[in-house]
Structure 1
Amino acid sequence: MDILTAKRIAVVTGANKGIGLEIVRQLAFNGVMVILTARNEKRGAEAVEKLIKSGVSDVVFHQLDVADPASVASLSEFIKTKFERVDILVNNAGVASLEIDSEVLDSLDGDDTEVNNDDYSAIHQEFDSVVLKELGSNDQQSGGSRFLKVLAAGKETYEKAKECLDINFYGTKRVTEALIPLLQLSNQPRIVNVSSIHGQLQYIPNESIQKQFDDVNDPKEEIKLDEILQKFLNDMQENKLEENGWPTFGSAYKVSKAAMNTYTRILAKRYPSMCINSVHPGYVKTDITWNSGILTVEEGASYPVILALLPDGSPSGLFYDKMEVISF
């Protein structure tokens, strides 16, 4: 057996920057052989080169576009040929559902006017309250002000919503289903889905929709998930989100993460020998938060890494806020 295959083998999606890149770094420092994947081949290769120059070994790059079935199949074949199995899969690839007008954001960033918490909470309250909850008292002013400016510069389109669902949920599903046969060859298979606290069902106003997401005991739940997501897209296209009880801001992102969390529970029930969990890594300062977060990427990445390295017999099918188990 190749000396590399004696190590645990991990795949991290969306890993050329931010939390994904740091997850790769931390796993490698823990003695794991990591396949860093990214949609952009140049950026992915540069990320690996940067890690190696910093002293990280046992990292290789393979291109992966989670929205492209052929790309997913290529990754699976590469792993099968090179490493024969996968021990850890971290589904980190994801996008926001907002389109940000960079010129508007730049102009707002140049405005030093303070934003008080009353004003902050008044705008898109059901979305922002989650952020405010994560901000400590010393950070509410700076973090809240920055995030408010992001909201003012952002809009959600039908096309962006489709992309968000296709990458955040269906991309996770494509990669996972392609790699399940290789994970089944592992003695310690782990799947970690990097989710968001915004994916909690409590942020979907329609209780009937909540129940549909929550019914993981239904053997047809995966089929129902497709139906729920199509209904969401139809309602968005027809401007009926509020009327039909969907989230009205950051809506596709929330729905995509709720679907990911449901899929996590389905997988955990289907594969009881695997340890499969979702995790909200905290409000991290990365591109996806437009650098409005308060945690460093090192802090945010540490939680998926802990879950990826859980010992045998650890709980499966849970949703973590950092390392605290929370409700779906």
Structure 2
Amino acid sequence: MRPGAIALVTGANRGIGLETARQLALRGAVVLLGSRDAGRGADAARALERDGVRGVTPVAVDVTDTGSVAALAARLRREHGRLDVLVNNAGVFAGAAAADTGADLVRGLLDVNVAGAVAMIHALLPLLARSPAPRIVNVSSTTASFGLTVSGAELPGDASVRLAYTASKAALNMLTVQYGLAFREDPGLKHVKINSASPGWTATAMNGFRAPRTVQEGARSLVALATLPDDGPSGGFFDEHGALAW
């Protein structure tokens, strides 16, 4: 990653997003810490500053609100003129047994986990195109892997209540594939690299801090994909150890 790279991380006021913001800032990036709640975002940025982490600015953005996303895009255009890294980390989980999973629950997850990422990419792609080395990271989940799921592999978490969540992350993975293919065919976007990252089962508020991995471990794959060299992959699905089965 080039010194002074402009990086935006959504859902970054806590958990893996906050740790990703920390690690990118420590690598010399100018980090925009995205948070739906402006107050919580400001608190998170101040906490990083107290820890000696510089170069982090809180920004308010609700990925489900096109007006909020457009306002942030206008601010970035005005203040920075480009964007080098977009980490689509904002996401939600709602657990329910298959028999209790209704359309409204699914729509709610798709709105944040899938449409929210599309909204960010659509609004910010013109700014990413201006970067010499743009990177997009879509934060997915190992549980979204068709290959691992149908193979009978033991996946983390409670499989009985994650039907809607894993479906939303699998849809996000397909977006990664389709964007990657499209970018390769577009002369103005072929330098944009986009990948899905699995942080692994990481202890966060989303799972009641029940998982075994720390946020420092969970952020590794996100940071690695956000800082890919020019010969790095695009359109793939990775954890910190390498490629994952779709």
TM-score, length of structure 1 as denominator length? 0.67
| RMSD (CA atoms) | 2.1
Report how far residue 323 of structure 1 moved: 2.9
Could you tell which deviates more after superposition, 5-14 or 304-313? 5-14
| Deviation per residue, 1:262-307 (Å, 9 max, x gap) | 0001111111321111011111000112211101001101210011
Residue of structure 2 in register with 1:159 after alignment: 104
Aligned pair 1:180/2:125, yes or no? yes
Deviation, 1:204, is: 7.5
Query: Does structure 2 retain, via aligned residues, the 8 Å contact 1:97–1:156?
Result: no
Residue 173 of structure 2 is matched in structure 1 by 261
> Which amino acid is the alignment partner of residue 191 of structure 1?
I
Specify which of 194, 206, 211 is matched with residue 288 of structure 1: 206
Q: 1:98 to 1:82 in 2, by over 3 A?
A: same
Structure 1 residue ranges without an equivalent (≥5): 100-123, 128-154, 206-246
Alignment length, in residue pairs? 230
| Structure 2 partner of 1:61 | 58
Decide which structure has the larger Cα Rg and report it: 1
> Residue deviations 1:176-220, cap 9 Å, x none?
111100000000000111100111124787xxxxxxxxxxxxxxx
Return the alpha-carbon distance in structure 1 between the equivalents of residues 210 and 183 of structure 2. Answer: 37
Tell me if structure 2 keeps the 8 A contact 1:98–1:157.
no
Kindly indicate whether residue 11 of structure 2 is the aligned counterpart of residue 14 of structure 1: yes
Unaligned runs of 5+ in 2: 151-158, 185-190
Q: Which residue of 2 aligns with 1:89?
A: 86
Instruction: Find the partner of 1:251 among 163, 166, 177.
Output: 163
Which amino acid counterpart does residue 325 of structure 1 have in structure 2?
Answer: A
Q: Is the 8 A contact 2:203 2:215 kept in 1?
A: yes
Aligned partner of 1:23 in structure 2 is: 20
Describe the shift of the 1:326–1:158 C-alpha distance in structure 2 as closer, same or farther (beyond 3 A): same
On the 8 A contact 1:76/1:178 being kept in 2, the answer is yes
The verdict on how the C-alpha distance between 1:199 and 1:32 changes in structure 2, with shifts beyond 3 A counting, is same
Shift of 1:162: 1.6
Percent identity over paired residues: 40
Normalising by structure 2, report the TM-score.
0.88
Kept in 2, the 8 Å contact 1:15–1:24? The answer is yes
CA contact (8 A) 2:180 2:194 kept: yes
Contact 1:22 1:301 in 2 (8 A): yes
